[in-house]
């Protein structure tokens, strides 16, 4: 992999800054409201307090381990991977090969779906086509080799294989539909940059 | 630390080391981008932590079989598919659960709907997806995924 100069899109960044602060405040307010909501709800169901807190705590620990690393990977991707490279392999002209690359990229790592969102946004930013992003996210969500193994074990090979084939087909169609809709109604404008 | 966390962190450290040797300035820039993005999505991530806690606290996986055990027919596919879209269950638990759903009388289509919506759609992740990829993309992807999951399940019911 060669490191080609990539443009910084400074203008875009500055434009987004103004709205960013407001959004951030809104997000913290929503968080405060959901915590208050949770506390009120739990005060009516004292038996649910323990399982809820245990789950939240486990989840928080998991997030704390994964999220910073994911952000670093995304940052490295943004700085080092050139627009030309993403356009070549995942852009408009990438065709069937692009879909396959997107599916492989999505199916290889393991980890919760939220990990894939920042990576998807970075790829869109660099010129990947929407179809491939949908395939990437769907593959990340539901095509995982260890997962397929468990599926065979509990539901049988026929069930797993049929579901896998149908999923790949329908996800590709869905990707095309989403791409058409987004192209016909203007840009996607991801907030995170 | 889970194996996922170990892999992701290993990759990040490796990436940083390689990046540092290739260019100090760009590495610092990458870390700045990372830090900024982290604080941008932090509140949304914490909201999800609260939501997931409540969901699993109120609907533990062990109760799902009781709730949706013998669902069949189109209505069964719909309700069980909706449950899968909203619930949040790790796949290691989800597949055995789907197996026991099937054993307790759910049809092939209903079982497939449960597994497919469960893995493909993350309603709890929706706030983060909207935040990062935009409302249009996130809502389209989740909405159409639900339709696709229903189509997959009904086709599976026909084929198997």
Per-residue pLDDT of B83-129, as tens digits, reads 889 887 776 678 888 888 888 788 889 889 989 998 888 888 898 89
Range of the domain at A150: 67-184
Q: Looking at the domain assignment, is residue B48 inside a domain?
A: no
Q: Looking at the domain assignment, is residue A41 inside a domain?
A: no
pLDDT of residue B5: 80
Residues 99-138 of B with CB under 8 A from A: 99, 102, 108, 111-112, 115-116, 119-122, 125, 127-129, 131-134, 136-137
Cβ contact B43–A31 (<8 Å): yes
ipTM of the complex in this document: 0.81
pLDDT of residue B88: 77
Q: Looking at the domain assignment, is residue B50 inside a domain?
A: no
- Residue A49's closest chain B neighbor by CA? B57
pLDDT of residue A14: 43
Q: Which residue has the higher pLDDT, B67 or B5?
A: B5
Q: Is the domain of B36 the same as that of B85?
A: no
Q: Is the domain of B17 the same as that of B64?
A: no
Dist CA A55 CA A40 (whole Å): 18
pLDDT band for B151, please (50, 70, 90 cuts): very high
For the stretch B53-64, what's the b/e string if a residue is b when 16 or more beta carbons lie within 10 angstroms of its beta carbon?
bbbbbebeeeeb
pLDDT of residue A104: 87
Up-side HSE of residue B24: CA atoms within 13 Å toward CB?
0
pLDDT band for B142, please (50, 70, 90 cuts): very high
Mean of the per-residue pLDDT values of chain B: 86
Closest CB from A144, A166, A192 relative to B37: A192
Question: Is B19:B26 a contact under the CB 8 Å cutoff?
Answer: yes
Q: Looking at the domain assignment, is residue B51 inside a domain?
A: no
pLDDT of residue A172: 92
* Average pLDDT of span B123-136: 89
Radius of gyration of chain A (CA): 20
| Residue ranges, chain A, pLDDT below 50 | 1-18, 191-193
Query: Cα distance from B113 to chain A (closest Cα, Å)?
Result: 10
Q: Looking at the domain assignment, is residue A139 inside a domain?
A: yes
Q: Looking at the domain assignment, is residue A13 inside a domain?
A: no
- Structural domains in chain A (count): 1
In this predicted structure, the answer to whether residue B71 has a pLDDT above a threshold of 70 is no
The residue behind tokens 């940083």 is: B16
- Structural domains in chain B (count): 2
Range of the domain at B37: 1-41
Question: Is A4:B23 a contact under the CB 8 Å cutoff?
Answer: no
């Amino acid at each position: 992999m060669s490191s080609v100069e990539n443009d910084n899109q400074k203008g875009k960044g500055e434009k987004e800054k103004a709205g960013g602060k407001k959004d951030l405040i809104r997000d913290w307010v929503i968080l405060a409201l959901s915590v208050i909501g949770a506390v009120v709800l739990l005060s009516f169901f004292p038996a649910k307090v323990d399982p809820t807190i245990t789950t939240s705590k486990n989840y928080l620990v998991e997030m704390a381990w994964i999220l910073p690393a994911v952000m670093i990977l995304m940052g490295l991707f943004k700085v080092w991977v050139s627009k030309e490279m993403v356009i070549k392999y995942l852009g408009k002209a990438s065709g069937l090969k692009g879909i396959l690359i997107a599916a492989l990229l999505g199916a290889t790592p393991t980890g919760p779906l939220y990990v894939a969102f920042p990576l998807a946004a970075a790829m869109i930013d660099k010129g990947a086509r929407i179809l491939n992003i949908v395939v990437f996210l769907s593959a990340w969500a539901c095509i995982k080799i260890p997962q397929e193994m468990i599926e065979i074990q509990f539901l049988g090979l026929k069930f797993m294989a049929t579901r896998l084939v149908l999923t790949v087909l329908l996800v590709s169609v869905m990707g095309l539909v989403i791409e058409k809709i987004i192209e016909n109604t203007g840009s996607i404008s991801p907030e995170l940059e | 630390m889970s194996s996922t966390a170990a892999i992701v962190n290993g990759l990040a450290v490796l990436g940083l080391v390689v990046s540092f040797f290739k260019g100090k300035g760009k590495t610092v820039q990458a870390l700045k981008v990372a830090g900024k993005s982290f604080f941008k999505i932090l509140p949304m991530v914490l909201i999800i932590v609260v939501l997931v806690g409540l969901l699993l606290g109120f609907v533990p996986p062990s109760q799902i079989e009781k709730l949706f055990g013998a669902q069949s027919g189109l209505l069964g596919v719909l309700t069980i598919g909706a449950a899968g879209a909203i619930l949040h269950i790790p796949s290691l638990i989800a597949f055995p659960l789907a197996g026991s759903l099937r054993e307790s009388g759910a049809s092939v289509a209903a079982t497939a709907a449960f597994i497919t919506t469960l893995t493909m759609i993350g309603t709890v992740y929706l706030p983060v997806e909207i935040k990062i990829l935009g409302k249009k993309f996130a809502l389209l992807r989740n909405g159409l995924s639900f339709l696709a999951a229903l189509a997959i399940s009904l086709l599976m019911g026909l084929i198997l």
